[in-house]
Amino acid sequence: MASPAHIAALAGRTGPWPFAGAFTGTLCDDGPTGLAWAGRVTSGADLSLAWRASRLLEHPLARPGLPRADRRRALAIAWARLDGVQRELLGPNAGDGVSVLLIAWDAEGVALSGIGLEALYASDANGELAPWLAPAHPLFGLPGLTTARPMALTVDAAPSTLIAVAHGDEHDLAGVSLHTALQRSGVRR
C-alpha cells in the first residue's frame, strides 16, 4: 500500500526575517515513492543572496526522477543532488549554514535524514505538537553540507507532517498546535 504524502517543515528563526534562505517542497512522481524537504541556508544579511541560495538547493531536490519503490535510494539521490550544488554560490558560509530535513517514503515505509537539526516534532492525538525523537537522537547534529552521508532513520510509518527545529534555534514547539507550527514554518499549503 502506498504511503500518503508527507510534509516536511522547518520552524522559522526568530527575528525580522524568519524565512530568509528557507526552502520547502514535496516531490511525488507517478510511483509510490515521494520526497519532502524543508531547509534553509544561512547567507548573511543579504536577502537576495539568501533567496538565490535557497533556489540552488531547492531546484535539484524538486527535479523529477525519483526511483520507484525505494525510499532509501530516494534519500541517497536527494543527498547526491545536494552534493552537486556549488558551495561557493551559497553565500559567505559556503554551505556551512545549511539545515535540511528530508523525508522519503514508499509503499513499505518512511526514511528520514537531515543535517543541522536539533528537534523533530509531530502532532499528538489532540493536535498539539510533541517531540517525535529524543533530544539526543543521532539524526540531530550540526548544520552544513558535508561529504559524509548523514544518517538515515528508516521506519515502517511516520506522522504525515514532521516539523523540525534547526540547530541553535532553541524553539520549544511542545504544545503548539499543528496549524500554528506550520504557520511559523512558512508552510502555506
Partner 1 sequence: MTAPWVAELLASVVEADALRRAVSLALSEGRPALPLWLALADEAPDQLAALALDAHVPSSADRLDASLAVIDVLESELGPERALLGLWALANTAEERAVVRAQAAARHPSAAWNAQLVDGEASPGTAWLTASEASSSLDVICATCAARGFDAALIAAAAAQRSLHPAVALIRVHRLQAAAAAAAAALDAESRLPVVAWLAAVYGPDLELLLLDIARAVRTMEARDALRRASVDLPSVLAALAAP
Q: Is residue 18 a contact residue for partner 1 (CB under 8 A)?
A: yes
Contacts of 164 (CB under 8 A, 6+ apart): 8, 9, 10, 11, 38, 99, 101, 114, 117, 119, 120, 121
Q: Total residues at the site for partner 1 (CB under 8 A)? A: 24
In whole angstroms, give the CA distance from residue 91 to residue 97. 9
Q: Which is nearer to partner 1, 25 or 141 (CB)?
A: 25
Q: Is residue 186 a contact residue for partner 1 (CB under 8 A)?
A: yes
Q: Is residue 187 a contact residue for partner 1 (CB under 8 A)?
A: yes
Q: Which is nearer to partner 1, 50 or 66 (CB)?
A: 50
Number of Cβ atoms within 10 Å of the Cβ of 70: 19
Q: How far is the CB of 104 from partner 1 (least distance, A)?
A: 20
Q: How far is the CB of 17 from partner 1 (least distance, A)?
A: 4
Q: Is residue 19 a contact residue for partner 1 (CB under 8 A)?
A: yes
Q: Do the strands 110-115 and 152-155 form a parallel or antiparallel pair, or are they unpaired? A: antiparallel
Grid look-up 535539484 returns: 60
C-beta separation of 16 from 50 below 8 A: no
Q: Is residue 22 a contact residue for partner 1 (CB under 8 A)?
A: yes
Binding residues vs partner 1 (CB under 8 A): 12, 16-24, 47-48, 50-52, 54, 58-59, 62, 185-189
